[in-house]
Structure 1
Amino acid sequence: MKRSLVVLLIIALVISFFAFNLNRFLTLESLKQSHDGFVALKAQSPWLVAAVGFVLYVLVTALSLPGALVMTLAMGALFGLVVGTLLVSFASSIGATSAFLASRFVLRDTVQQRFGGKLKAINDGVAKDGALYLFTLRLVPVFPFFLINLLMGLTPMRTRTFYWVSQLGMLAGTLVFVNAGTQLAQLQSLSGILSPGLLLSFVLLGIFPMIAKKVTTWLQGRRVYAKWQRPKKFDRNLVVIGAGAAGLVTAYIGAAVKAKVTLIEAHKMGGDCLNYGCVPSKALIKSARIAHQMRHGEHYGLTSCEPNFSFRTVMARIQTVIRAVAPHDSVERYNELGVEVLQGYARIVDPWTVEVTLNSGDIQRLTTRSIVIATGAQPFVPPIPGLDEVGFVTSDTLWDAFSKLDAPPRRLVVLGGGPIGCELAQSFARLGSAVTQIEMAPRIMIREDEEVSELAHDSLTRDGVAVLTGHKALRCERELVDGHERKFIVVEHGSTEQRIEFDALLCAVGRVARLTGYGLEELGVETRRTVVTNDYLETLYPNIFAAGDVAGPYQLTHIAAHQAWYAAVNALFGDFKKFKVDYSVIPWATFIDPEVARVGLNEQEAKEKGIAYELTKYGLDDLDRAIADGVAHGFVKVLTVPGKDRILGVTIVGEHAGDLLAEFVLAMRHGLGLNKILGTIHIYPTMAEGNKYAAGAWKRAHAPQRVLAWVSRYHTWKRGGAI
Structure 2
Amino acid sequence: MSKLLTPDICVIGAGSGGLSVAAAAAAFGVEVVLIEKGKMGGDCLNYGCVPSKALLAAGKAVKNVQKAARFGVPFEEPDVDFAKANDHVQKVIAAIEPHDSQERFEGLGVTVLREAAEFTAPDVVVAGDHEIRARRIVIATGSTALVPPIPGLDQVPYLTNETLFTLRETPEHLGIIGGGPIGLEMAQAHRRLGSKVTVFEAQTALGKDDPELAGVVLDTLKSEGVEIFEKTAVEKVEGFDDGVLITARSEDGELVTRAVSHMLVAAGRAPNVERLGLEAAHVSYSHKGITVDHGLRTSNKKIYAIGDVAGGLQFTHVAGHQAGLVIRSILFRLPVKMQTDIVPWVTYTSPELGHIGLTEAEARARHGKKVKVLSAAYAGNDRAQAEGEIIGKLKLIAGPGGRLLGADIVGAQAGEVINLLSLAISKKMTMKDLAGFIAPYPTLGELVRRAAISYYADAPKNAWLRRGIGLLRKFG
TM-score (ref. length: structure 1): 0.63
Name the residue aligned to 1:628.
386
Matched with 1:310 is 81
Question: Which residue does the alignment assign to 1:410?
Answer: 172
Distance (whole Å) between structure 2 residues aligned to residue 466 and residue 510 of structure 1: 20
Specify the alignment match of 1:546 in structure 2.
305
The amino acid that maps onto 2:142 is: G
* Offset, 1:704: 6.2
Q: 1:485 to 1:433 in 2, by over 3 A?
A: closer
State the shift of 1:583 in Å.
3.0
In the other structure, the counterpart of 2:399 is: 641
**Structure 2 residue ranges without an equivalent (≥5):** none
Structure having the larger proportion of residues in helix: 1
| 8 Å contact from structure 2 (residues 341, 356) kept in 1 | no
Query: Which residue does 2:133 correspond to in 1?
Result: 367
Cα distance between partner residues in 2 of 1:664 and 1:308: 39
Equivalent in the alignment of 2:261: 503
Match of residue 665 from structure 1: 422
Quickly say closer, same or farther: Cα 1:711–1:608, change in 2 above 3 A.
closer
1:461 to 222, 232, 252: 222
CA distance in structure 2 between the aligned counterparts of 1:275 and 1:373, rounded to whole angstroms: 19
Distance across 2 between alignment mates of 1:684 and 1:559: 32
CA contact (8 A) 2:214 2:353 kept: no
Instruction: Name which of 264, 277, 301 aligns with 2:48.
Output: 277
Return the letter of the residue paired with 2:375: K
Query: Structure 1 residue 502: deviation in Å?
Result: 0.2
C-alpha deviation, 1:328, in angstroms: 1.4
The residue that corresponds to 1:393 in the other structure is 159
CA drift at 1:586: 1.2
CA contact (8 A) 2:5 2:130 kept: no
**SS of alignment partner, residue 236 of structure 1:** coil
Aligned counterpart in structure 1 of residue 186 of structure 2, from 414, 424, 430: 424
SS at match of 1:638: strand
User: How far does residue 677 in structure 1 lie from its aligned partner after superposition?
Assistant: 1.9
Q: Contact 1:297 / 1:305 at 8 angstroms: preserved in 2?
A: no
CA distance in 2, matches of 1:293, 1:523: 53
Who is 1:356 aligned against?
Answer: 127
Amino acid at match of 2:316: T
The answer to whether the 8 Å contact 2:243/2:262 transfers is no
**Which letter maps to 2:212?**
E
Cα gap change, 1:611 to 1:283, in 2 (>3 Å):
farther
Distance 2:446 2:237 in 1: 49
State how 1:254-269 maps to structure 2 within 5 Å. 254-269=25-40
Give the 3-state SS of the residue equivalent to 2:154 in structure 1.
helix
Q: Does 2:344 correspond to 1:587?
A: yes
Give the 3-state SS of the residue equivalent to 2:375 in structure 1: strand
Q: Which residue of 2 aligns with 1:531?
A: 290
Instruction: Give 2:445's aligned residue.
Output: 688
Quick check: 2:123–2:281 contact (8 Å CA) kept in 1?
A: no
Counterpart residue identity of residue 379, structure 1: A
Contact 2:80 2:194 in 1 (8 A): no
Shift of 1:389: 2.1
> For residue 113 of structure 2, what is the aligned residue in structure 1?
342
For 1:549 and 1:564, the matched residues in 2 are separated by 12
Partner of 2:97: 326
What's the CA shift for 1:708? 4.2
Report deviation, 1:519.
1.0
Conserved 8 A contact 1:599-1:661: yes
Q: 1:331-389 deviations in whole A, cap 9, x for unaligned?
A: 122122221211111112222221112xxxxx111221111000000000111111122
Q: Does 1:240 pair with 2:240?
A: no
**Whole-Å separation in 2 of the counterparts to 1:327 and 1:473:** 41
Distance in 1 separating the partners of 2:458 and 2:315: 36
Deviation at 1:309, TM superposition (A): 2.6
CA distance in 2 between counterparts of 1:351 and 1:375 reads 18
CA-based RMSD of the aligned residues comes to 1.9
Structure 1: 5+ residue stretches without partners? 1-232, 358-362
Aligned counterpart in structure 1 of residue 208 of structure 2, from 432, 444, 447: 447
Change (3 A) 1:414 1:706: same
Quick one: distance in 1 between partners of 2:75 and 2:365?
46
Shift of residue 717 of structure 1?
Answer: 6.5
Deviations 1:24-62 (A, max 9, x none): xxxxxxxxxxxxxxxxxxxxxxxxxxxxxxxxxxxxxxx
Pairing 1:557–2:316 present: yes
Task: Please tell me whether the aligned partners of residues 545 and 567 of structure 1 are also in contact (alpha carbons under 8 angstroms).
Answer: yes
Q: Which residue of 1 aligns with 2:456?
A: 699
Quote the residue 1:578 is aligned against: 335
Q: Deviations over 1:302-330 (max 9, x none)?
A: 22431123101100110000000111111
| Shift in CA distance, 284/239, structure 1 to aligned 2, threshold 3 Å | same
CA distance in 2, matches of 1:251, 1:416: 34
| Among 135, 150, 155, the residue aligned to 1:384 | 150
Distance in 2 between the 1:701 and 1:254 partners?
Answer: 53
In structure 2, C-alpha distance between the alignment counterparts of 1:688 and 1:609, rounded to whole Å: 28
Q: Tell me, yes or no, if the aligned pair for 1:545 and 1:571 is still in contact at 8 Å.
A: no
Residues 601 and 650, structure 1, Cα contact 8 Å, conserved in 2: yes
Q: Counterparts in 2 of 1:284-295, with a 5 A limit?
A: 284-295=55-66
Shift of 1:492: 0.6
8 Å contact kept, 1:533–1:539: yes
CA distance in 2, matches of 1:240, 1:486: 42
| Higher mean C-alpha deviation, range 524-533 or range 625-634 | 524-533
What letter is aligned with 1:395?
Answer: N
Letter in 2 for 1:413: G
Contact 2:367–2:399 under 8 Å retained in 1: no
Which residue is equivalent to 1:514?
Answer: 272
CA distance in 2, matches of 1:379, 1:709: 61
Q: 1:446 to 1:607 in 2, by over 3 A?
A: farther
Letter in 2 for 1:555: Q
Residue identity in the other structure for 1:506: L
Corresponding residue SS for 1:296: helix
Deviation at 1:259, TM superposition (A): 1.0
Which structure's CA Rg is the greater one?
A: 1
Moved over 6 A (4+): 715-719
Aligned partner of 1:46 in structure 2 is none
Tell me the amino acid that sits aligned with residue 568 of structure 1. I
**Corresponding position of 2:432:** 675
Structure 2: distance between partners of 1:703 and 1:567 = 50
1:424 aligns to what SS in structure 2? helix
Range with bigger deviation, 688-697 or 704-713: 704-713
Structure 2 Cα separation of the partners of residues 380 and 680 of structure 1? 44
- 1:477 maps to 2:243: no
Distance 1:486 1:565, change over 3 A: closer
Aligned residue-pair number: 470
- Match of 2:409, SS state, is strand
Q: Identity percentage over the alignment?
A: 34
* 8 Å contact kept, 1:426–1:465: yes
Query: What is the letter of the counterpart of residue 321 of structure 1?
Result: V
Q: What TM-score do the two structures reach when normalised by structure 2?
A: 0.94
